[in-house]
Amino acid sequence: MSNYHIKHFEEYFQVYRKSINDPIAFWEEIAEEHFSWRKTWDNVLSWDFSKPEVKWFDGAQLNITENCIDRHLRNRGDKTAIIFEPNDPSEPAEHITYKQLHERVCKFANVLHDKGIKKGDRVCIYLPMIPELAISVLACARIGAIHSVVFAGFSSTALSTRIQDCDAKMVITADGGFRGAKTIDLKGIVDDALRDCPTVKSVLVAKRINSNIHMEPGRDEWLKPLLDDSYKDYTAEVMDAEDPLFILYTSGSTGKPKGMMHTTAGYMVYTAYTFKNVFQYREDDVYWCTADIGWITGHSYIIYGPLANGATTVMYEGVPSHPNYGRFWEIVQKHKVNQFYTAPTAIRALAKQGTEHLEKYDLSSLKVLGSVGEPINEEAWHWYNDNVGRKKCPIVDTWWQTETGGIMITPIPFSTPTKPTYATLPFIGIQPTLMNDEGEEITDNQVNGKLCIKFPWPSMARTIWGDHKRYKDTYFSAFENMYFTGDGAIRDEVGYYRITGRVDDVIIVSGHNLGTAPIEDAINEHPAVVESAVVGFPHDIKGNALYGFITLKETGETRDHENLRNEINMVITEHIGAIAKLDKVQFTEGLPKTRSGKIMRRILRKIASKDTDNLGDISTLLNPEVVASIKDNAV
């Protein structure tokens, strides 16, 4: 039996038990047998959740790109590493072999080096889903620079906040990007962002849409001529196991975004191991994850996990609906995709179109279907299972987070019996538990609790960049000696977990995490606004959508409310991005507050969800009278 590749349900239990009973021996064996190290570790694991401090494979030396690229050159040099499928179906796909990837990453690494980027420097990557995105990520890792990819849907303000937070020295971007029928002016957004980013010394620009853009002399350079002139080999920087690999920002319930910092060895081992098992990847398979590399799913399961296994991974530039809703299925047929990993919001949007598009394509290559990003509702699960998988492909509902680096709770296909809406069982090495508000572990079934993890796993984030205290306060203070996820969950009689949703002020809209506080801060910037509260409400396609309760300075505000709504959404788009726009806006006379002045969001959530039969006790409110009027005027 190989612990690296689990093939039966009994095997899952055996390996799981091993991984819990002796985690050190377990992870040591996985690390030793399946990766290439410049030097092995002195210590497999040291940890203290009270600090918190966690180190995996301390003392080891490696470079993750040697594991993701170089070691495959001998046997898989001509195998396709990345298939790039462009936005426009008439543009040919690009197949990049491991050899070619090696050369392109090395050339890019030389460019970074020539521009003065050194080990430990931060490089911000703001690119569309084109090969340069994966290549620049790997080039940073090759020279030991810390990449910070920012999703290309974020606004210039959001981009500059992230650049400032990590003091990036360089930005890698493109003249623009194609997304469905739209083009996005990425370089213009970067130019705006860089007005307040003095640490950025250079900007490298990939050409994608051939637009006429401004190039700032002395700062901006086209990437292609630099790459053409650079040498095709680059000796990988030797990194320590715990050297930072990347920073990726995620929304918190309050304050600015949190720069989750991931380190090298543990992240590599865990993403590779989960990829192999959760997708049951076999040598000649073609795997496709539809996420954007701007999110953790893209980092771990488009780039690092697949490439560490020598897999063929598809990168798609566009959206599911362009040029029509058959696009995903056309890609599955064209590249004979075997494993398909997407988000419930995409499944719901596709399901809404019926099965007409699906029927035009041959989906018989599919073996495993994945879901990630938010709870998958029963209807979407069945549609996916019946129509995409034709009841033959197990669905892996994978629960995890930016903070966890890799998949934490998931079925193992062909092993774990699936159950709609349940992410099922912990992955190997993961020790979840549910806690009640008294700080006790819940042992009963079907009781909602707060999902925590009791023991470290290799790919956990090590800190929030520049703010270790916030890391501790957010994740390690709610319950002693545990990592608190921020999610609620229940467990059934066989031990399967069902994630019930966030228990904090983070709202997941179309699979994207949005903190309410930054959206409210943006709204409050509008001159007509006194204060605001944003809550989520259920939405057919997006899972949740945003409802803003907004109090205006002058109740008799003379301007047309429709205009004001649009203006407020414009302010949100400027500060965060279009993904954070409000679906519903209600102008209120005031917001329900506790005596200590805190907005009672519980009541607003109920009103937004039209669940107003029982609003709970409002007698303790400072201003109970506003509730009736808010309820009567709900939109």
- Closest residue to ligand WTA, based on beta-carbon distance: 402
Q: What's the distance, Cα to Cα, between the start and end of the chain in Å? A: 59
Could you say which residues in the range 141-170 bind ligand WTA, by CB under 6 A? Answer: none
| Nearest distance in Å: CB 399, ligand WTA | 4
Q: Which stretch binds ligand WTA (CB under 6 A): 80-88, 368-376, 475-483, 542-550?
A: 368-376
179 or 512, CB closer to ligand WTA? 512
Q: Which stretch binds ligand WTA (CB under 6 A): 17-25, 221-229, 324-332, 479-487?
A: 479-487
Query: Closest Cα partner for 342 from 359, 358, 360, 329?
Result: 329
Six-digit token string for 409: 């709770």
Q: Which stretch binds ligand WTA (CB under 6 A): 54-62, 356-364, 391-399, 453-461?
A: 391-399
Query: Closest Cα partner for 542 from 324, 328, 329, 352?
Result: 352
CA angle 113, 117, 122 (to 5 degrees): 140
157 or 513, CB closer to ligand WTA? 513
Binding of residue 478 to ligand WTA (CB under 6 A) = no
Report how far apart, in Å, the C-alpha atoms of 68 and of each of 81, 142, 296, 305 are: 10, 10, 17, 8
HSE-CB at 371 with a 13 A cutoff on CA atoms is: 31
Choose, by CB under 6 A, the member of 402, 415, 463, 532 that binds ligand WTA.
402
Report how far apart, in Å, the C-alpha atoms of 172 and of each of 64, 372, 420 are: 21, 28, 41
Choose, by CB under 6 A, the member of 499, 507, 519, 626 that binds ligand WTA.
499
Could you say which residues in the range 77-136 bind ligand WTA, by CB under 6 A? Answer: none
Query: What is the 3-class SS of 455-469, one letter each residue?
Result: CCCCCCCCEECCCHH
Residue type (1 letter), 4: Y
Binding of residue 296 to ligand WTA (CB under 6 A) = yes
Choose, by CB under 6 A, the member of 56, 295, 316, 341 that binds ligand WTA.
295
Binding of residue 401 to ligand WTA (CB under 6 A) = yes
Could you say which residues in the range 237-256 bind ligand WTA, by CB under 6 A? Answer: 250
Q: Coil, strand, or helix at residue 504? A: coil
Binding of residue 305 to ligand WTA (CB under 6 A) = no
Asked if 513 and 260 count as a contact pair (C-beta separation under 8 A), the reply is: no
| Nearest distance in Å: CB 271, ligand WTA | 12
| Nearest distance in Å: CB 369, ligand WTA | 13
Query: What is the 3-class SS of 528-551, one letter each residue?
Result: CEEEEEEEEEEECCCEEEEEEEEE
Choose, by CB under 6 A, the member of 290, 342, 398, 459 that binds ligand WTA.
398
Between CA 558 and CA 601 the distance in angstroms is: 28
Catalogue the E-assigned strands of 324-478: 339-342, 368-372, 395-398, 432-435, 449-453, 463-464
Choose, by CB under 6 A, the member of 102, 502, 565, 601 that binds ligand WTA.
502
373 or 518, CB closer to ligand WTA? 373
Choose, by CB under 6 A, the member of 399, 471, 475, 549 that binds ligand WTA.
399
Report how far apart, in Å, the C-alpha atoms of 357 and of each of 325, 388, 424, 542 are: 7, 11, 31, 21
424 or 532, CB closer to ligand WTA? 424
Query: What is the size of the binding site for ligand WTA (CB under 6 A)?
Result: 22
Binding of residue 292 to ligand WTA (CB under 6 A) = no
Q: Which stretch binds ligand WTA (CB under 6 A): 97-105, 181-189, 295-303, 539-547?
A: 295-303
Using CB under 6 A, list all residues that contact ligand WTA. 250, 295-297, 372-375, 397-402, 423, 485-487, 499, 502, 508, 513
